[in-house]
Structure 1
């Protein structure tokens, strides 16, 4: 008996696993945390370029958030993914690497946030 015959024999000897029906989703879908963060934001966001204290590297700073740090972090994550760049969110501000002011302004407007 070669290995193919042994494998086919093993397949026929193995019982089929019992399938359980998937539970129906009756609960409401979870609220979108990004939509909540955007709706709670009050006032305009300030977008500015900065070089000082960064070893000559350019960074774009977004400040003026009136939402909690978790919402700021969520917005920062979305911006970093959409712009394809690095950055961080600390102390109610978002830092994006490079001079991306125009692209950030456009992305924030698409989210429904007002900017300078």
Structure 2
């Protein structure tokens, strides 16, 4: 006897409701074109730059915040690009692919 049968025995008049909202695949707006992930050095320091996202600014800022907290690094959102301090291209690409984005690696 599994849990559902036990619950039916305890509460025979209860009607189970399936009103759960549909689960979203991602919290962000997904696009068809890939996000470009590239590596640069600025003032001698390595940075990873993400460009090409065409969603709303609020989604882009939320994505930047989630990336920075996931990697535990600093960064910023400027001129429709996310700048992450350090060379984290592989981790960023895995993070974005897990959330349903298509990502293109540019540069070395």
Q: For 1:69, which of 57, 60, 67 is the aligned residue? A: 57
Matched residue count: 82
Indicate the structure whose relative CO is greater, using CA pairs within 8 Å and at least 6 residues apart.
2
Give deviations 1:12-61, integer Å, cap 9, x for gaps: xxxxxxxxxxxxxxxxx9xx8x62x333x33100000011xx21001000
1:58 paired residue number: 46
Q: Where does the alignment leave 5 or more consecutive residues of structure 1 unmatched?
A: 1-28
Unaligned runs of 5+ in 2: 1-20
Query: For residues 15-34 of structure 1, what are the structure 2 equivalents within 5 Å?
Result: none
Match of residue 38 from structure 1:
29
Cα distance in 2 for partners of 1:77, 1:108 equals: 13
Q: Distance in 1 between matches of 2:60 and 2:81?
A: 7
Give distance in 2, aligned partners of 1:72 and 1:89.
8
Structure of higher CA gyration radius: 1
Return the TM-score normalized by structure 1: 0.64
Give the RMSD, CA atoms, in angstroms.
1.9
* TM value normalised by structure 2: 0.69
The structure with the greater share of residues assigned to helix is 1
Moved over 4 A (4+): none
